[in-house]
Amino acid sequence: MLHPLTFQPIFKDRIWGGRELERLYGKQLPMDGPIGEAWEISDRPGDSSTIANGVYTGKTLHWLMENHAAELLGPARPASGNRFPLLCKILDAREKLSLQVHPPAAKAAALNGEPKTEMWYIADAGPGAELYAGLKPGVTRAEFEHKIADGTVADCFHRIPVKAGDAMFLPSGRVHAIGDRLVIFEIQQNSDTTYRVFDWNRVGLDGQPRELHVAQSLASIDFNDFAPQLVATPFVTEGGIARRSLVRDPLFNVDSWQIAEATTGALAPGRLQIVAVTKGTVSLHTGHCLIPLSAGQFALIPASVSWTNVIARGPAALLRVEAN
């Protein structure tokens, strides 16, 4: 029988990264340098997460998909190639990311890419931090192309001030970028296709300008996507837990929980779920095991686990992710 699973993070050095994952969450980063991403739950080719607890310690998530997919997924659908459907990350952006877009499902194959819908939860934000998402009202494709050519395409992007606790949904086709001084929990479908429109004229870690994908970007962008807003749903409090729906999508659902000290909340049975702790400390209790999780840690609850309770050890906050 499967049980809730934790994994070893996969760290990615990025030119725009830093060391905040060490400071905020005590992660043991592998080197002195800019670490931009911790892939917390991944089943990408060459980057499949290694299980860190229980009887399958040392096995990969892809091994689990090959041998226990039905128990793991339940009614959730796998990604192509029978891979795990979601990719979960924590991003540390000390500088702005490139202005970019992910291809929509209807166009991805023709562009030799994979569709990618995602959401961002702001875990930490410096003063004046902002996101770039969608287009400013009235921007046309012709204007956008002209500004790519003259290096001012950032002027076309809708900019949104953000603080810790904010969330943004990014369907494929929405142009976007993460601003500087942000730490973000990112939940996305299992894809790693990104088309860069503009990269602030900087060079990569190898000293060379990073590749742009202008033609693919123009083919992917939704030019009717103007001024999208942050998630605005309110919290509803019951039994010491304030819950807020962040995403309801055919690919995944995401809720934000704020849990009072010594409060217990039940996860939905029979569904593949992920718990990502954004603040404080909780424990997952299944009857078979008790798994402590602190801020910056993720756990995967297989659909075959009959019940799981979340117990807050102090005031805590988490994301509950459900794969569809």
The tokens of 270 are what? 């029979």
Identify whether the C-beta of residue 162 lies closer than 8 Å to the C-beta of residue 127.
Answer: no
List the catalytic residue out of 14, 196, 271, 320.
196
Contact 259/316 with Cβ under 8 angstroms?
Answer: yes
SS3 track for 253-288: EEEEEEECCCCEEECCCCCCEEEEEEECEEEEECCC
Q: What DSSP string describes 35-47?
A: EEEEEEE-EETTE
Beta carbons of 194 and 37 less than 8 angstroms apart:
no
Residue with tokens 């089943």: 43
What's the Cα-to-Cα distance from 221 to each of 96, 146, 174, 217, 262, rounded to whole Å?
20, 15, 6, 6, 46
Query: CA 271, 272, 275, 276 torsion: positive or negative?
Result: negative
19 catalytically annotated: no
Active site residues: 196
